[in-house]
A and B are shown apart, each in its own frame.
Chain A
Amino acid sequence: MLHYDFMQRAFFAGALIAVVASVLGVYLMLRRQALMADMLSHVSLAGVAAGAFLGLSPTLSGFLTATIGAVAVEYVRRFYKTYSEMSIAIIMVGGLSTAVVLMSLNKTMSKSFTSYLFGSVVAVDRSQLLLMLIVTAAAALFFFFLRRPLYQMTFDEETAKVSGLPTGLISMLFSVITGMIVAAAMPIVGVLLVSSLIILPAALAIRLTSRFSAALLLAVAIGLAGVMSGLTASYELSTPPGGTIALVLLAFLAIGVASQKVVRLVRAKSKHAAATDTEMHSYGPIPRLGEDSHTS
């Protein structure tokens, strides 16, 4: 299968997107913004419809709309601080309704929408591959240089702001990067399943490790394995790549969660668990001065 140019491009593009989407997923989940990827993909669909309606490149217009949608959701989020998921619902409705109206105005384009909705390995052309390369490079730089500020902000934005971090600017950049990744991932997995590539690897990784950096690396490994095996299965079974990748990732999640439960059950029965339980309850009060030499 790798002797086909389109499959080589699909695997290369899939690997690029799997890496950055999985890292993004960890941050989105911990910031309680797991639905943001779904929302942006729907907004992006409005951009694709607008591009086709106006005779522009649907890829470029979808990309731009997703980025604008990401910035918009950040502004709306500031109005609904306590209910941040409300901003996602508001922008998603706006994006989807615009897409539906624009599609109804141009009935000849409904066929080409199938590949946007469900993904297609042949949809990845050279220009899209170049776009994915640029997005991956930008996202990799962003996540590498801002990994510590992002970690702090994931816990609590107010404490991060008091520590001197420019939280507003970083949040805005994070939203823009999210929009870019979602738009770049769309040709392969499609609008309806783009969030599976972002959320499922992260959902499993954060269950399996108690270290943040390990969670990021594990998510990338799960994402890569899911995309590669999903694309292979999609080629062999002639099924849509988006749905196949999502099903493989779901299977990984189910197996991972079940395995973890089994391991916990086995451990709970062992003497080791009893020892760590004792340790959990054996910590003392805050030491009085003089009792602890580490106060000097």
Chain B
Amino acid sequence: MILASLKEVEFGYNDAPSLHNATIEVRSREFAAVTGPNGASKTTLLKLMLGLLKPWKGKTFLAGKREDGRPLKVSYVPQQIAAFNGGFPSNVQEFVLSGCLSSGSWLRRVTKEDRELAEKSLRQVGMWQLRERRIGELSGGQKQRICIARALAQRPDLLVMDEPTTGMDEASRKGFYELMRHMVDAHGMSIVMVTHGLEECRPYLDRIIELERKGEGGWKCCTTTLCSGHFSPAR
């Protein structure tokens, strides 16, 4: 099933288009990476896909429902969350728990399952130990991890992340790619992430969306579907 797509999309911030004739598809149960040099409109591509930006030309599509007819849950982890200043009065656990509560009624009570899911997500990103910390006191890499934990706690069908491994060391990056692969294989999640470390994560991917320079007319998409079986630690 196609969860999101762009068809012959053109977009720019000024008079000239920065993204030209972009066509991509994101299918269910796949792990895709968007890559390209700095300024290649990778973040723009994600925002167009999520409906946060409107294209000049072409069509964008984001599925409203899953295959079983239930509403599609989408989570987004942006590159920077501006409100993460030192004074924000919230601790790590409260922040991640808010991810569990983002679906369903706005007034529903916090359940035991919500708390367990928040704990599991924090353990998955190795941040459970710092659960009582004020979020503004965390380092950049730690903030990135709790944003990923919050997104995982939402149990999304489609998880979109913008450079999620920024600030992570090599061991964490490997753990992160394995975790994402596990979410696709075991939980049927679809994942799209912007990355600069393509060679490192290639073994875990199903699809690569590469942005290439198209003369002076901006950037275009070049999609590669990886046919060979990806690395899976479960195998």
Give CA–CA (A214, B160) in the complex, Å.
32
Residues A286 and B98 in contact, CB atoms below 8 Å apart: no
Within A120-178, the residues touching B (CB, 8 Å) are 145-149, 151-152, 154-156, 158-159, 161-165
Q: Which one of B88, B90, B145, B186 lies within 8 Å of A296 (CB-CB)?
A: B186
Q: Contacts A154-B83, A158-B52, A289-B234; is A294 near B123 (CB within 8 Å)?
A: yes
Q: Contacts A158-B52, A158-B76; is A295 near B124 (CB within 8 Å)?
A: yes
B95 to chain A, nearest CB (A): 8
Residues B123 and A156 in contact, CB atoms below 8 Å apart: no
Binds A, one of B30-38, B164-172, B188-196, B208-216: B164-172
- Interface range for B: 35 or more
Q: Contacts A280-B130, A285-B126, A295-B182; is A214 near B89 (CB within 8 Å)?
A: yes
Q: Contacts A156-B83, A206-B87, A211-B90; is A286 near B106 (CB within 8 Å)?
A: no
A103 to chain B, nearest CB (A): 39
Q: Which one of B78, B91, B124 lies within 8 Å of A292 (CB-CB)?
A: B124
Give CA–CA (A43, B98) in the complex, Å.
36
Q: Which one of A26, A158, A290 lies within 8 Å of B233 (CB-CB)?
A: A290
Query: Whose C-beta in chain A lies nearest to the C-beta of B147?
Result: A159
Residues A155 and B81 in contact, CB atoms below 8 Å apart: yes
B64 to chain A, nearest CB (A): 10
Q: Report B-chain residues with C-beta under 8 Å of the C-beta of A206.
A: 87-89
A287 is an interface residue with CB less than 8 A from chain B = yes
Query: Whose C-beta in chain B lies nearest to the C-beta of A31?
Result: B83
Q: Report B-chain residues with C-beta under 8 Å of the C-beta of A149.
A: 106
How does the 8 Å CB contact mask read for A178-215 relative to B, with 1 for contact and 0 for none?
00000000000000000000000000011101111011
Q: Contacts A207-B87, A214-B89, A285-B172; is A145 near B107 (CB within 8 Å)?
A: yes
A5 is an interface residue with CB less than 8 A from chain B = no
B66 is an interface residue with CB less than 8 A from chain A = no
Q: Contacts A148-B101, A209-B89, A214-B89; is A155 near B83 (CB within 8 Å)?
A: yes
Residues B52 and A161 in contact, CB atoms below 8 Å apart: yes
A4 is an interface residue with CB less than 8 A from chain B = no
Give CA–CA (A73, B50) in the complex, Å.
26
A292 to chain B, nearest CB (A): 6
Residues B129 and A282 in contact, CB atoms below 8 Å apart: yes
How does the 8 Å CB contact mask read for B74-113 relative to A, with 1 for contact and 0 for none?
1111100111100111110011001001110011000000
A55 to chain B, nearest CB (A): 44
Give CA–CA (A153, B85) in the complex, Å.
15
A283 is an interface residue with CB less than 8 A from chain B = yes
Q: Which one of A146, A158, A287 lies within 8 Å of B126 (CB-CB)?
A: A287
Residues A159 and B168 in contact, CB atoms below 8 Å apart: no
Give CA–CA (A154, B52) in the complex, Å.
17
Q: Report B-chain residues with C-beta under 8 Å of the C-beta of A151.
A: 98
Q: Report B-chain residues with C-beta under 8 Å of the C-beta of A32.
A: 82-83
Q: Which one of B47, B73, B78, B103 lies within 8 Å of A156 (CB-CB)?
A: B78
Residues B89 and A286 in contact, CB atoms below 8 Å apart: no
Q: Report A-chain residues with C-beta under 8 Å of the C-beta of B106.
A: 145-149
Most buried by B among A32, A154, A280: A280
B125 is an interface residue with CB less than 8 A from chain A = yes
Give CA–CA (A290, B181) in the complex, Å.
13
Residues B175 and A159 in contact, CB atoms below 8 Å apart: no
A236 is an interface residue with CB less than 8 A from chain B = no
Q: Contacts A156-B82, A156-B83; is A285 near B90 (CB within 8 Å)?
A: no
Residues B134 and A210 in contact, CB atoms below 8 Å apart: yes
Residues A159 and B233 in contact, CB atoms below 8 Å apart: no
Most buried by A among B74, B77, B102: B102
Q: Report B-chain residues with C-beta under 8 Å of the C-beta of A214.
A: 89
Give CA–CA (A287, B127) in the complex, Å.
10
Q: Which one of A145, A165, A285, A287 lies within 8 Å of B169 (CB-CB)?
A: A285
A162 to chain B, nearest CB (A): 4
Give CA–CA (A286, B160) in the complex, Å.
19
- Pairs A-B, 7 closest by C-beta atoms: A286-B175, A215-B89, A285-B171, A285-B172, A162-B76, A210-B134, A286-B172
Q: Which residues of B contact A (CB under 8 A)?
A: 47, 50, 52, 71, 73-78, 81-84, 87-91, 94-95, 98, 101-103, 106-107, 120, 123-127, 129-130, 132-134, 142, 145, 154, 160, 168-169, 171-176, 178-179, 182, 186, 233-234
Known: A148-B106, A287-B124, A294-B123. 10 other contacts (CB 8 A): A156-B82, A162-B75, A165-B102, A205-B89, A206-B89, A210-B91, A285-B168, A287-B126, A288-B178, A296-B186
23 CB contacts below 8 A, A to B, read: A30-B83, A30-B88, A32-B82, A145-B106, A155-B95, A156-B78, A159-B81, A162-B50, A163-B75, A163-B103, A207-B87, A209-B89, A211-B91, A279-B130, A282-B129, A287-B124, A288-B174, A289-B178, A289-B179, A294-B123, A294-B124, A295-B179, A296-B186
